[in-house]
Each structure stands twice: as structure tokens, then as C-alpha cells.
Amino acid sequence: MAGRGDDRGMTVRVKKKRGIKASSRRWLERHLNDPYVRRAKADGYRARAAYKLIEIDDRYKLLKRGQAVVDLGAAPGGWSQVAVERTGSTSESIGVVGIDYLAVEPVAGATILEMDFLDDAAPQMLIDTLGRAPDIVLSDMAAPTTGHRRTDHLRTMHLCEVAADFAIRTLKPGGHFLAKTFQGGTENDVLTLLKQNFTSVHHVKPPASRDGSVELFILAKGFKGRREDSDGDTGEDDGEKAGPLG
């Protein structure tokens, strides 16, 4: 990783302007004075969210050289940047494939698909592009906010559920799944599903998550494998090709 950058500096104040709400001005001031935002600019990351993955990976040692990674909800590309750095993915040998319905500037060493992950064709497109079963599925997906916390939570939990299903259908045995969620009481079904299919499941809140945020990450480690894997095909070969989903 590049240097941490200089977190120090004068506090930025946003002048009052006609047409700009006080709440918007406060948000902008908080964003501009956020040390993670400053570090992201200094270190060349596209968003402060990169440090969430960095901090989680530093603690749990998920990303390793040569691994294959799927990055769901890749925009603006910060997590893909971290995954490329830590797996050694290159343009000659792509090991990181992301997807987002928003356009993403190219990330050296990764392939980013511009399409909605909820599109029926998207899961197979990801696996076909990667060319093998992933070692890790990452998901920083969150539904666009409506301002109604309960609705926003339910919509993001749906994305988490879909991402978990994708991970269980595609991961190599021993693989890991990391996904954004929100604090709340509607994730029991997801936790039950993950506990059935992984050796350990954790809730993680990295320091880079803003104070007061209801954001959490679910980390499921050690995928137990699908039934067909335990019937003889362990999927341990690094060159394994993933078959059609369904």
C-alpha cells in the first residue's frame, strides 16, 4: 500500500451560499475534513471506502497473491484497486473482476463490467469473465437511499442476500465472502444461510466506517463447498473453470 499520507491540515470551511442547505454544507465540510478522504487522495485511491477493505484485510488476512476476486458494486473502483494490489492481478493475467451499473474508470489489473448485478445475465457474465471460480466475493453494494431508514435497510439487505447466494453458488471451497449490511433486525436469514455454508461468520465494523454510521460488514470465512464438490470434485485446482450457474 502507498504511504498513509498526511492527515494533518487546516480545517476546510464551506461558505454559506444561496441555494445550499445548511445540512448539505455540513456534510460537505465533514467530507472535506475527513482524514480518510485526505489519505485516499494522497495514496491514489478513488474513495475513502478503500480503507474499509484494507483494515478488514489487515485484520483477517483474506486477500493473497494469485487469488481470483469478484467485486460487486465496484464503483468508483476503490475496492478493486485494493484487490489488485494485494492479489497481484495484472492486465496480462486478470484476477479481479468487478461489476456496477454505474460507469467506472478503468482500474489497471481489473476488468469492470458496466451492468446491473441484478440482471439475470450478470452472475454468469462475471464468472465467464473471471474464467474460474472465485476465491473471494466482495460486495460493497448498497441501494440508493430514499431517506426512510427502514426502507433503505431492507433494500440493502436484499442486495446482501443476493450477493450471499452468488457467493455460495460460485466460490471455491475454503473461499471467503465479505458484504456490506446495516445494523438492524432483518438479517437473521442471511446469517443462518452463511453459518450453514461457512466455517465462521463475523460482524465487522472497521475504523474507516464513519462514527454514528449504521453500516456493518458481514465476513464469512472458509466456504464449506457445494454438495457436488464434496462428491469428488473439490475444486482445489487454481485453474478450475467455473461451470454454468443455475
pLDDT in tens, 91-147: 999 999 999 999 999 999 999 999 999 999 999 999 999 999 999 999 999 887 777
Distance CA 216, CA 208 (A): 11
pLDDT tens digit sequence for 5-44: 444 444 544 445 555 555 554 544 454 556 777 887 888 8
Which of 52, 172, 180, 221 does the annotation list as catalytic? 180
What are the tens digits of pLDDT across the range 137-151? 999 998 877 777 777
Q: Which residues pair with 177 in a beta bridge?
A: 137, 220
Beta bridge partners of 181: 216
Asked whether the predicted pLDDT for residue 3 surpasses 70, the reply is: no
pLDDT at residue 21, as a whole number? 59
| Stated pTM of the model | 0.80
Whole-angstrom distance, CA of residue 210 vs CA of residue 184 = 17
Superfamily of domain 46-230, CATH level 4: Vaccinia Virus protein VP39 (3.40.50.150)
> Does 58 belong to an annotated binding site?
no
Structural domain boundaries of the chain? 46-230
Residue 223: φ, ψ to 5° = -60, 130
CA neighbours closer than 13 Å in the CB half-sphere of residue 155: 12
pLDDT at 34 (0 to 100): 66
The answer to the question of whether 140 is labelled as a binding residue is: yes
Which CA distances in Å does 6 have to 3, 39, 77, 127, 209? 9, 7, 22, 39, 19
List, in sequence order, every residue forming a beta bridge with 221; answer none if it has no partner: 200
Q: Is 116 annotated as a binding residue?
A: yes
Q: Which residues contact 199 (CB under 8 A, 6 or more apart)?
A: 221, 222, 224
Write the pLDDT tens digit of every residue in 57-70: 999 999 999 999 99
The DSSP letter of residue 163 is: H
pLDDT digits (tens, 9 = 90+) for 194-221: 999 999 999 999 999 877 777 889 999 9
Contact partners, residue 90, CB within 8 Å, separation at least 6: 109
The separation between the first and the last C-alpha atoms of the chain, rounded to the nearest angstrom, is 38
Average pLDDT over residues 226-240: 51
43 is in an annotated binding site: no
Tell me, yes or no, if 172 is annotated catalytic: no
